[in-house]
Structure 1
C-alpha cells in the first residue's frame, strides 16, 4: 500500500495545464508583470523624495542669496522625469487590474458553464431514474443485495484493481492471505450482528459507507456515499445512495441498496468514544472516498484515530483519520 500516495482518484487526475489552461496562462502572465509594476511604483516614489530634496536645497540657497538658474533647471528636470515615472507606474497598475478583471470574467464564465452542464446532467439522470424507479426497487425475496443503477455511459470497475476508476490504492491484497495482526481480534459475524444491521434505518442526506454488489467475480470496496432517497417500510425498505466520487466529467453514480450493505457515518460534530488500541476497523483512507481495513494504534489530541492500514504493517507508515470516518469492521 505504500504506492497509495501516487494513485489519488477523482477529478484531480488531469494535469494542471489541461484543466486550467487559459486561466493558468493568464495568471502566470500577471504574476510575471507584477514585479515590474511594483518596481515602477517604487521608482516613482523614490523620485518624489529627490524632488523634495531639491526643493529643500533651493530654499536654503534662496536664504543665502546663492540660488541660480541651474537650480531651477534641475528642479524642472526632476519634475518632468517624475511625470513620466508616474505615468508609467499608473499604466502598469491599470494594465494589471484590467488583466485581473479579464481573468475573473473567464473564470466566472467557466464556472457558469460547468454549473449549467451539471444541472443538465442532473436533470437527465433524474428523468432516467424516475422512469426506471419501479423496476429498480422491485427486489426479489432475498432482498438484501445492492443493485447498481444502469448507466452504460459510466462504467465502473470495482475491486480496487489498478484499472478501476477508483484509483486511491494499488491492487488489493490476496483475500486468501490472513492479514490480521497478532493481538488484534477479527470481528465475528453471526445471527445477532445480522439482526442488528437489519434493524438499522437511514434517512435522506445521511452519510454512509456502503458496499456495492460486485458486477462479476471481483471484490468490491466499501465506499463513501450519501443517501438520496428512501422507499418502502420494514424489510422491504430500500435506499438510493449517491457515490461521493466525482469522475473527470463531473459525473457521480448512484446505487440501489439495503440497510445490510450500509454503515452509518455519524454527523459532523457528534461526540464519539475513543477506540481501543488493537481494534480492527474500517476507515476512510486519507484523500480518497474508499474505506479499508485498518488497526487502531491510538488516538491523537485532535480527536483523530491513528491507524495502520492493511498492507502497511511492515512499514512505519501511520495515518490519522477523523474519528467519525472510522466505523465497525465488516468484510
Structure 2
C-alpha cells in the first residue's frame, strides 16, 4: 500500500525537544493549578461551616468561640496563599507562567508551519512514473493536525482545565488564557454526482469512530484527490465539531499520526455490507476512486454500466470478502494513464461521485 511519512517540515531535533519541554511544563503547571484549586475549594467549605457555627452561637446569645475564630483566621490565610500561588502559576511578573508558556509554544508552532506548496516532483504520464507517485503520496501537513497541537508522542494534548472556584479567584488572568486564535478551514462544496445531496449531507453528520473516510483537502493535496483514512475520535459539537483521523495504511514501522479535520473535508466510505445496495453507475460517469494498491483516490471514468441487481448472480464467484459479504467491483479507467485501454477493477464502495 502507499507509504506515507508525516514529518513537520523545517524542524530540527533541538526545536522539537524545546516544544516538548515547554509542553511538559505547561501540563505540570496545569495539574498544579487544579490541585491548588481543589484545596482552595475544600478550605472555602470549611470557612463557611465555621462561620455558620459562630453565627448560630451569636444568635443563641452565646459568645463566639475563640478556638473557631483562630481556625477561621488560619483557613483564611491559607486560602489567600493558595490564591496567590494559583495566580503566579497562571500569570506572573517574571514571565515564567502558563500564559507566557502558551504564547511561546504557539509562536514556535506557527514558525514551523509547512509551505502548502507541493513538494513532490512533476507528474509524469508513464505507467512507471505514475506507479512511483502513487506509492509515495505527498504527506499531509494539516494546520489543524494534532501533531501541531501536541509535540509530545503521547497522543492528543489534554486541555488545561481550571475549576470554577479558581477561575473566580484569579479573575482576569483566567479570562486572558482563552484568547487563542483559531484558523478557520475553507469549506468544500459537495456535489452528489447522481446521488442525493441530502443523503450525502446526512452521511457526513453520521461520521462515527472507525468510519472509513476520504480525506479531501485541495489546499494540502499534492497528488491525487485525497487519501483513505479512518475516524478515531469525534471532538466538539455543532460547528466546532472536528474529527480525529489517521491514515488507513501508514508506512511501517512509523505509527499512524492523527490529524483533525472538519466535516467539509471528509466523505464517508460506505461499509462493505453496503456494496450490493449502492446506486447504479452508468458508463462514462466521472468518479473518484481508490487506485488499486494504494490509499490514494484519483479521478476515473466508469468503463461499463455497473448495477448491483445485475451482479447478484456473480456474488460468491469472485471470492468472499470480510464478514462473508461478496465484494463487488467496478471497471474503471483512471485519468492520465498512457495506455488508453488500461482498465482496473475497484470495489464499489471505494468509487465515489466526483463533484
TM-score normalized by the length of structure 2? 0.41
TM-score normalized by the length of structure 1? 0.43
